């Protein structure tokens, strides 16, 4: 990346503003690390990224370069313009204190991506109930087409892998370095991002 690179420390999250035409580049510096992404219309945060609308219009649950991510109002929000991994998840919600209690009862509680997104988005007037199913970058969740069963496996991303997404409207983005054990192959690593001008 030629643009300044920002680092999201392990198990944390940020919010940022993205103008229409700018490209958000998210990279996995160490490999094997998930980053949860949510986004909202800057003019009206009632407009939000929607997995259901995206699956409907893109006719696939496997989103990669060339696919668009759609809002609940049927507008394209982001276009994936580059993707060196090709495996992301748009089925699962951000990990949270509740998912930690459910899946890791013996581990210390953590507010997870959900709590990190909630804290990062609060200054924009976006409350916790408005956090939808996230687009989980680098998250590897194979679906068994016959049984419907899903499994959370370690990401396929290697050090330096990245995904670039062009904003199709002015927006507020929430972005994390994911906090859950299974999603990240058992260790917590940072996530880097940069914003390329239009």
Helix, strand or coil for residue 163?
strand
d(CA 103, CA 84): 30
d(CA 3, CA 5): 6
Q: In terms of CB distance, is 72 or 196 closer to a copy of itself?
A: 72
Residue 187 CB, nearest approach to a copy of itself (Å): 21
What is the DSSP pairing of strand 35-41 with strand 68-70? unpaired
| 53 makes contact with a copy of itself (CB under 8 A) | yes
Q: Which of 81, 119, 143, 156 binds a copy of itself (CB under 8 A)?
A: 143
What is the DSSP pairing of strand 23-28 with strand 191-196? antiparallel
Residue 153 CB, nearest approach to a copy of itself (Å): 13
Q: Taking the alpha carbons of 17, 25, 51, 71 in that order, is the dihedral positive or negative?
A: positive
| 81 makes contact with a copy of itself (CB under 8 A) | no
| 105 makes contact with a copy of itself (CB under 8 A) | no
Are 94 and 113 in contact by the 8 Å Cβ rule? The answer is: yes
Helix, strand or coil for residue 102?
helix
Interacting span for a copy of itself (CB under 8 A) from 9-17, 18-26, 60-68, 166-174 = 60-68
Q: Which of 21, 66, 125, 142 binds a copy of itself (CB under 8 A)?
A: 142
The site for a copy of itself (CB under 8 A) is made up of 46-48, 50-53, 55-57, 59-63, 72-74, 91-93, 96, 98-99, 102, 127, 129, 131-134, 142-151
């Amino acid at each position: 990346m030629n643009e300044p690179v920002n680092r999201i420390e392990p198990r944390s999250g940020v919010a940022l503003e993205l103008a229409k035409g700018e490209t958000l580049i998210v990279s996995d510096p160490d490999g094997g690390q998930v980053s949860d992404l949510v986004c909202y219309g800057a003019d009206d945060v009632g407009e939000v990224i929607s997995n259901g609308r995206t699956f409907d219009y893109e006719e696939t649950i496997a989103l990669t370069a060339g696919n668009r991510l759609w809002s609940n109002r049927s507008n394209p929000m982001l276009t994936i313009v580059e993707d060196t991994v090709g495996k992301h998840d748009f089925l699962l919600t951000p990990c949270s204190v509740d998912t930690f209690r459910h899946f890791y009862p013996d581990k210390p509680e953590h507010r997870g991506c959900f709590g990190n997104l909630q804290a990062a988005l609060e200054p924009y007037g976006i409350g916790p109930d408005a956090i939808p199913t996230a687009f989980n970058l680098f998250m590897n969740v194979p679906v068994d087409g016959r049984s419907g069963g899903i499994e959370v496996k370690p990401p396929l991303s290697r050090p330096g892998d990245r995904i670039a997404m062009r904003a199709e409207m002015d927006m507020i983005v929430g972005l994390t370095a994911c906090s859950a054990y299974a999603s990240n192959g058992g260790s917590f690593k940072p996530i880097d991002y940069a914003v390329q001008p239009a």
